[in-house]
Structure 1
Amino acid sequence: MKKHWRSLLLGFVAILLVIDLGMGYYLFNFALGKTGYSARNANRPLTTSEKWAQTQEQTTWRQMSADGLKLQARYYPATKPTDKTVIMIHGFGDNSLTVGPYIKLLHHAGYNVLAPDARAAGRSQGRYIGYGWQDRADLQLWVQQLIRRQGPHCQIGLYGISMGAAEVMYYLGLRVPSQVRLAIADCGYASIVGELSYQLKQIFHLPSFPLIPTANLFVQTLAHYNLYAADTRQTLKHNHIPLLLIHGTKDDFVPTKNAAINYQNDHGPKKLWYVKGAAHAQSYQKQPQKYRQHVLQWLTKYFDLTK
């Protein structure tokens, strides 16, 4: 009789394990796969600002990632020669064209703009989304290429939206070259696990445990990074690069509380601006004049304008 119950118990545990593995793998593909949730807007028509970004004078820059992916970026030279370049980093499910409004803002202000396509996005290779964590190493390569091309006296600003903002904040935990003078992070999440846990509850009404730990096994095996490692609590604790944080108060994709967490985690010069009534990645659209003012003031404050 005991053997019978033991067999039933083991069978039940095995079924639960198979279900957990299956759901974990589904979550992995849904969240990280190039053809997963990030591809939901892949076939929509280009917006006016995206068409603008596509047709402006630009050159294509190329880079090989440390794990062998061919990455591409769009480089927009300023109308007048300048040593100041802003790297504009797109968000989840987006690409180098979807940040067209921000490229236009920076270009009209007189800056060079480098807009990379993240791995598994746009014209860059990759099967799995890096959620800013893998991408931070790719960003370092773009920074280094900028310095090689423009010389050691160039000045660089980092500017990210959503996942791109998280990438910027994760990057600040690396050894940042002295040419990087400032950073702007608009609606970025503090940790990947925190963001995925929130989305798992919002979309599927499911708890994070045990699905995220199981999905992380696939992330580590197939995408080669650890979801739990990505946290601004670690990457910003020694940061000295001036950081402007922007977040909408009506953000229901990356909850607004992330802004306060990131602000608390950072130990360099910093400023936090809440945009009242703005949804996710809609702060510029909600308050365009004030948004331009905050961004351009931050750039002029920390770029050396005498050069």
Structure 2
Amino acid sequence: MKKRIIWIFGLITGIVGGIVTLLGYLVTSRIIYIKKKDDDFILEREKKALRYDEKWYESVDKEHLSISSPNGYLIKGIYFKPLQTTNTMIVCHGVTENKVNSVKYVRLFERLGFNTVVYDHRRHGESGGKTTSYGYYEKFDLQAVLHSITERLNDDAIIGVHGESMGAATTLLYAGTLEDKANFYIADCPYSDFSEELYHLLTKQTPFKSPLAIKLANIFLRLRDGYWLKSIAPRTAVTNIEKPVLFIHSLPDDFILPGMTIELYRLKNGPKMLKLFEQGAHAQSFNTNPQEYEDTVREFIKEYALNKNDSLKV
């Protein structure tokens, strides 16, 4: 009888363990192998929206980049040089997108007097990397891109970093946990804590409604991809950033809630600016409010990034 009880207990434990393991595997697979938008779809979408000008792209002075990531793959990007200046922006796109989505910002910063670098995050576009880590490994790639660019520029160059969505979180994680070497940062619709964002999305988009799914994801992310969820918390990183940060969000955003950006703005010490747009879905602040967005960025750069004798390109 005792052996039978032990056998049944072992069987039940094995079944429960198998279910838990399967659940953890499924949740983390959905996270680290998130389905990306097709590259051709992104290009056609940007062309149709008139945010990607083929004639301009073909004629503009540019350099294709291939930068070694400390994570063991190549980061692919483009350094657009429409202007005779060393002032340079680095743009980080959001999850499921690629560097083509960032070209709209190249044109924006050209109007403001900056050349611009766009690049593909790991596992996106043409860059290497097997998983998406929502800023954990991406921040090291941003650091590599920044070092590669600054090495070729003079000490007087003004360097800024613009990030959108996951790219914004990556920007803040870089500046708050690795180094704070750019002159300023623009964080457009970042999440303040990835575990909270993950729970928001899982309960909204999947059958996984329990906090247990996040606990399992945390363990399995550590086992499968080498980090804990607590390592992706811009709310902790932002307190260490000394350089100016412009925080941007659209109030109707229900993918990453605007309250996260408001929280980050409040936590940031020193020079900072907050812009909340009345219109625009997630990562659509610029697309929906292009002129107001440009005016906001111009005001921020003029106030916090330029020397007294510098002037913005009109």
Regarding TM over 0.5, the answer is yes
Equivalent residues in 2 for 1:1-307 (5 A)?
Answer: 4-33=4-33, 36-37=34-35, 39-44=36-41, 46=44, 47-48=46-47, 49-50=51-52, 52=54, 55=58, 56-79=60-83, 81-176=84-179, 178=181, 180-305=182-307, 306=309
Q: Which runs of 5+ in 1 are unaligned?
A: none
Distance in 2, matches of 1:2 and 1:60, equals: 70
- Which amino acid is 1:8 matched to? I
Secondary structure of the 1:107 match is helix
Secondary structure of the 2:95 match is coil
**Pairwise CA distance, 1:295:** 1.0
Distance in 2, matches of 1:31 and 1:255, equals: 19
RMSD: 2.1
Distance in 1, matches of 2:15 and 2:206, equals: 21
- Which amino acid is 2:23 matched to? M
8 Å CA contact retained: 2:250, 2:278 = yes
The percentage of counterpart residues that share the same residue type is 26
Distance change in 2, residues 1:42/1:194 (3 Å)? farther
8 Å CA contact retained: 1:78, 1:110 = no
Deviations 1:108-133 (A, max 9, x none): 32211011211111111011012112
Distance in 2, matches of 1:156 and 1:199, equals: 34
Distance in 1, matches of 2:99 and 2:79, equals: 10
Could you list the runs of 4 or more consecutive aligned residues of structure 1 that deviate by over 6 angstroms after TM superposition? Answer: none
8 Å CA contact retained: 1:165, 1:186 = yes
Distance in 1, matches of 2:251 and 2:10, equals: 49
8 Å CA contact retained: 2:188, 2:248 = yes
Q: More deviation in 49-58 or 131-140?
A: 49-58
Secondary structure of the 1:296 match is helix
Deviations 1:180-237 (A, max 9, x none): 1111111111112111111111111323533233333343233233222111232111
Q: More deviation in 47-56 or 96-105?
A: 47-56
Question: How many corresponding residue pairs?
Answer: 302
8 Å CA contact retained: 2:177, 2:240 = no
Q: More deviation in 49-58 or 114-123?
A: 49-58
8 Å CA contact retained: 1:50, 1:99 = no
Distance change in 2, residues 1:177/1:239 (3 Å)? closer
**Pairwise CA distance, 1:3:** 5.3
8 Å CA contact retained: 2:106, 2:115 = no
- Which amino acid is 1:17 matched to? G
8 Å CA contact retained: 2:243, 2:271 = yes
Distance in 2, matches of 1:105 and 1:215, equals: 38
Distance in 2, matches of 1:60 and 1:247, equals: 31
Deviations 1:124-181 (A, max 9, x none): 1011012112111111111111221012332111100000011111112135354x11
8 Å CA contact retained: 1:84, 1:303 = no
